[in-house]
Amino acid sequence: MSNIVWKEIKKYEDILFEFHEGIAKITINRPHVRNAFTPTTTMEMSDAFRISREDPKIRVVVLTGAGDKAFCSGGDQNVKGKGGYVGPDGVPRLNILDVQKQIRSIPKPVIAMVNGFAIGGGHVLHLVCDLSIASENAIFGQTGPRVGSFDAGLGASYMARCIGQKKTREIWFLCRKYNAQEALDMGLVNKVVPLDQLEEEVVAWAKEIMLLSPLAIRLIKAGLNAELDGQIGIQELAGDATLLYYLTDEAQEGKNAFLEKRKPDFDQYPMFP
């Protein structure tokens, strides 16, 4: 697909997790079912996103699907039971929601590399990524009301924030499929390129991002989320403010004064208008 050489970060059953020059790539590797996910897949994705968050060498995360037909076709219907998707432990789960939350809260850009069908829960997955770059053969759509499921969370509300209420209601109420150009026109994706150029394009975007200030990117992502995410959004943005405060001499003075059993002298630090 491209000449980019990826190095394995960790071995999993259902996903590939690889690294190239500051970029982590998470690939759902179940092409026989158009990269549908099971509880095992989603637990592995959660682990890879957790590592991507913690590892300072990783600056941008790319999410994609294996092969040239699908990004992700949503929940694996073969393991859908009552109450959710059933894993090897017999417990029904809806834990793709945990992955959605991780994608939004990781303080690094996540780019969906949409290399084919992005359908159902797979469509929501690309939607919640910060950026989506699609190949010309990509097809987008929701199927829930046809196949006995729905995502009325981010899959509805965040979609409406991205492309508007009317188009979101059309997508969910009619369950049609849309081609890559239609997705671009309605603002569902950022760019469309030929399939054989997709990975090079995504890596070029990631490298352009990595020329910029990671803290600035982190705070812009937190601010964009905060506007939509209520108290949890404010918590994340406030956490970043605390991080920045801890970097100041003023904050150090408070801690040092406590440890040295003296009154803190905050007068020595500038007051900004």
Judged by the rule CB under 6 A, the positions of this chain that interact with ligand S0N are 33-34, 36, 69, 73-78, 85, 94, 96-97, 117, 119-121, 143-144, 147, 149, 151
**Smallest separation (angstroms) from ligand S0N to the CB of 93:** 7
Residues placed in the known binding site for substrate:
34, 73-77, 85, 117-121, 143, 149, 246, 261
Which DSSP letter does residue 37 get?
B
78 or 165, CB closer to ligand S0N? 78
- Distance in angstroms (rounded) separating the CA atoms of residues 230 and 125: 21
Dist. CA 272–CA 89, nearest whole Å? 57
Return the number of the residue (178 or 205) whose C-beta is nearest ligand S0N.
178
Both tokens of 254, joined, read: 């408070």
From 193, 195, 187, select the one nearest 115 (Cα to Cα): 195
Closest CB to ligand S0N belongs to which residue?
Answer: 74
Q: Give CA–CA dist 80/73, Å, rounded.
A: 14
Residue 105 C-alpha from the chain's centroid: 8
Q: Is the separation of the CB atoms in 79 and 33 below 8 Å? A: no
Q: How far is the CB of 92 from ligand S0N (least distance, A)?
A: 9
CB 130 within 8 A of CB 100: no
Binding residues for hydrogencarbonate: 142-144
Nearer to ligand S0N, 75 or 87 (CB): 75
Contacts 24+ apart (CB under 8 A), 186-189: 187/162, 187/163, 188/127, 188/132, 188/140, 188/162, 188/163, 189/114, 189/126, 189/132, 189/133, 189/134, 189/138, 189/140
Considering the complex, what minimum distance in angstroms separates the CB of residue 170 from ligand S0N?
18
Query: Given the complex with ligand S0N, which of 109 and 121 has the nearer CB atom?
Result: 121
Contact 35, 26 (CB under 8 A): no
Write out the binding residues.
Answer: 34, 73-77, 85, 117-121, 142-144, 149, 246, 261
